[in-house]
């Protein structure tokens, strides 16, 4: 069970640090973008992955999720650990899987 919690903590922290600010950036820059399609989204995501803000947020989420995984209260643990980490991991892996499918399906032969 500890390895599952650790894996969910790491995945949840990385995807939460990527998804939460990325949604704000996408909504904020939607009107001013000159690029369209997947190239614009991939460029913004890769730029954000290299920024120090992403890594600071990932560490903050990691330590928050790690602390919440060890709380004695089951209701608090479910609300602040299980739901956010499973949701962020699921959505993040779904997006990565979708991009992988699109890349493999529509690549030039």
Element (H, E) at 89: helix 83-105
* pLDDT score recorded for residue 22: 75
Scanning 1-109, the segments in alpha helix (DSSP H) are 2-29, 38-49, 52-68, 74-77, 83-105
Residue 2: pLDDT band (50, 70, 90) is confident
**Orientation angle between helical segments 38-49 and 2-29, nearest 10 degrees:** 120
Residue 40: pLDDT band (50, 70, 90) is low
* pLDDT score recorded for residue 75: 95
Share of the chain above pLDDT 90, in %: 50
Contact present, 54 and 48 (Cβ < 8 Å): yes
Residue in this structure with the two tokens 């899987």, named with its chain if needed:
97
* pLDDT score recorded for residue 18: 87
* pLDDT score recorded for residue 21: 81
Whether pLDDT at 23 is above 80: no
Q: What is the pTM of this model?
A: 0.79
DSSP state of 73: -
Instruction: Compare 26 and 108 and report the one with higher pLDDT.
Output: 108
């Amino acid at each position: 069970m500890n390895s599952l919690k650790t894996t969910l903590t790491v995945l949840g922290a990385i995807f939460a640090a990527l998804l939460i600010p990325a949604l704000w950036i996408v909504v904020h820059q939607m009107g001013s973008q000159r690029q369209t399609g997947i190239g614009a989204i991939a460029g913004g995501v890769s730029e954000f992955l290299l920024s120090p803000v992403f890594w600071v947020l990932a560490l903050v989420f990691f330590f928050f999720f790690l602390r919440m995984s060890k709380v004695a209260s089951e209701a608090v643990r479910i609300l602040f650990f299980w739901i956010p980490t499973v949701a962020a991991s699921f959505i993040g892996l779904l997006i990565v899987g979708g991009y992988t499918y699109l890349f493999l399906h529509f690549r030039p032969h």
